[in-house]
Amino acid sequence: ELKVEQNPLFLSMQEGKNYTIYCNYSTTSDRLYWYRQDPGKSLESLFVLLSNGAVKQEGRLMASLDTKARLSTLHITAAVHDLSATYFCAVDLPTSGSRLTFGEGTQLTVNP
């Protein structure tokens, strides 16, 4: 059974600081997705990582995938308040049919 673990689950940081959210998964996969969810809202797709070594960047967020370590990171650079949200990673396997397995989510709060 594929397990996806994120850490930390809660992150409070100051504006201007850098930090990294980690997503570990238990079974080999080369496809991983990052989503953002604002309070009371739905999930919005952020990044799609489809191979080992993939790196995607948008604004202050950068995601990477290391399939050998079964690890993806979401790096936040010079955080701003608007980045406050819950971030989910999700992994899929060719053997899982159409399903994605989601991590528990990391609730990020950026304080002024």
Partner 1 sequence: DVKVTQSSRYLVKRTGEKVFLECVQDMDHENMFWYRQDPGLGLRLIYFSYDVKMKEKGDIPEGYSVSREKKERFSLILESASTNQTSMYLCASSLWTSGGGEQFFGPGTRLTVL
Inter-residue contact 20 to 73 (CB < 8 Å): yes
Q: Distance between CA 85 and CA 83 in Å, rounded?
A: 6
Residue 31 within binding range of partner 1, rule CB under 8 A: yes
Provide the mask over 32-71, with x wherever binding to partner 1 is found by CB under 8 A and - wherever it is not: -x-x----xxxxxx--x-----------------------
Q: Distance between CA 99 and CA 76 in Å, rounded?
A: 28
Q: Which is nearer to partner 1, 33 or 83 (CB)?
A: 33
Inter-residue contact 71 to 63 (CB < 8 Å): no
Residue 112 within binding range of partner 1, rule CB under 8 A: no
Q: Distance between CA 106 and CA 88 in Å, rounded?
A: 7
Q: Which is nearer to partner 1, 14 or 52 (CB)?
A: 52
Q: Which is nearer to partner 1, 29 or 64 (CB)?
A: 29
Q: Which is nearer to partner 1, 58 or 112 (CB)?
A: 58
Interaction residues for partner 1, span 76-95 (CB under 8 A):
88, 90, 92-94
Q: Distance between CA 8 and CA 69 in Å, rounded?
A: 18
Q: Distance between CA 58 and CA 47 in Å, rounded?
A: 9
What residues line the site for partner 1 (CB under 8 A)? Answer: 29, 31, 33, 35, 40-45, 48, 88, 90, 92-94, 96-100, 102-105
